[in-house]
Amino acid sequence: MSNTASLRPGSVASEHTPLKARNVAFDWADTPLHWIPGDPDSTHTINVLHLLLPAGERWFVHVYKQVLPQIRDARLREDVLGFIGQEAMHSQAHDDVLPHLKRLGLDPTPYTAQVDWLFEKLLGDRTLPPGRARQWWLMERVAIIAAIEHYTAFLGDWVLNAGALDARGADPTMLDLLRWHGAEEVEHRSVAFDLFMHVDGGYRRRVRTWATAFAALVFLWQRGTRFFMANDPTLPDGRASFREFARGGRQGVLPTPGAMARSIPQYLSRAYHPSRYGSTAQAAAYLAQSPAATAAEAHPPHPARPTGAA
């Protein structure tokens, strides 16, 4: 436990948003393979999300279930419970895209089976004795999640503001998935970091796990883009390249390398708190008009059966 409670960076926003999972559903039937028309490179760069998130966010839930008994703050516990449900829905929603890609001739299984291995085995519950070793591994994973959530919040904020995607005629269903997800990431962006500060908060651990998470993300992302480009049935000799990535950034259909570089010192700053970046109001505004999120509001699961009659 850290003993620097009074020096801890706190949330800059005073308002507190109660978090709840939204029971969204997307119909992929009409989404084309290249859902950013004429730009397979950028499409596939963003598609890597569908490869990493199903297993990754399932793993978040798995880890957070274990850390739940260690939370001593009632409001943080509520936040974490809401966070868990949102992440579970993100995982399910992205997972549903994978069979659609398979139907379109681009089978993602060779890649996702490896991502499954990464999160289930390499980052899973290792054979450790109860006590310090097990606790160390749990804290390490909680810190890795906080670092990854810095990037999901960054991407969420980016996609909410990426007007170029609309201008280029990107598929509305895919945009809604990305923005619903992005908005929820912005909405709950402080939870993972607050939890890490609550249960551990060590700066050395923060830096170490950031380096691991960042290296892994770069490795997996370029690999995923190359995998998609090489196996896309409509691209006879598709190849991913950094030049295309930078071009996507210039055109506004991908985040720019510059913005990504600038987000690094943010997280490593001792004064960092996620609430300083991104806008909760913007996220809430999108969720209030997202087709999937509003449909989930309109049709809660058991409206006609108050206590669940068949």
Specify whether the CB–CB gap between 25 and 292 falls below 8 A.
Answer: yes
Binding residue (CB under 8 A) for other proteins from 180, 214, 227, 286? 227
Nearest to 149 by CA among 25, 273, 66, 65: 273
| Interface residue with other proteins, options 55, 170, 177, 283 (CB under 8 A) | 55
CA 163 to chain centre: 20
Question: Which of 39-47, 98-106, 187-195, 196-204 is the region at the interface with other proteins (rule: CB under 8 A)?
Answer: 98-106
Closest CB 141 distance from other proteins, rounded Å: 16
The reply on whether position 126 binds other proteins by CB under 8 A is: no
- Name the residue among 287, 295, 272, 81 with its Cα closest to residue 185: 287
Nearest CB to other proteins, comparing residues 15 and 30: 30
Judged by CB under 8 A, the stretch of 111-119, 147-155, 159-167, 285-293 that binds other proteins is 111-119
In degrees, to the nearest 5, what angle opens at C-alpha 33 toward C-alphas 29 and 35?
90
Contact in structure between 160 and 182 (CB atoms under 8 Å): yes
Least spacing, CB of residue 79 vs other proteins, in Å: 11
CA atoms within 13 A on the CB side of 302: 6
The answer to whether the beta carbons of residues 54 and 60 sit under 8 Å apart is no
The residue within the footprint of other proteins, chosen from 10, 99, 105, 233 (CB under 8 A), is: 99
CB 43 within 8 A of CB 115: no
For residue 185, give both structure tokens. 């990431």
**Piece in contact with other proteins (CB under 8 A), picked from 34-42, 86-94, 199-207, 285-293:** 86-94
**Per CB under 8 A, which region of 20-28, 176-184, 251-259, 280-288 contacts other proteins?**
20-28
Rule CB under 8 A: is residue 134 a binding residue for other proteins?
no
Is residue 13 close enough to count as binding other proteins by CB under 8 A?
Answer: no
- 196's tokens: 């890490």
Q: Is 105 a residue that touches other proteins (CB under 8 A)?
A: no
- Does 236 participate in binding other proteins (rule CB under 8 A)? no
Interface residue with other proteins, options 121, 126, 250, 262 (CB under 8 A): 121
Distance CA 131, CA 119 (A): 22
Report in angstroms the alpha-carbon separations of 64 from 13, 17, 69, 301: 24, 20, 10, 25
Cα separation of 278 and 21, whole Å? 20
E strand or H helix that includes residue 160: helix 132-160
Tell which one of 1, 15, 72, 110 touches other proteins (CB under 8 A): 110
Shorter beta-carbon distance to other proteins: residue 21 or 164: 21
Binding site for other proteins (CB under 8 A): 20-21, 23, 25, 27, 29-30, 51, 54-55, 58, 61, 64-65, 68-69, 81-82, 84-86, 88-89, 92, 95-96, 98-100, 102-103, 108-118, 120-121, 223, 226-227, 230, 299-305, 307-310
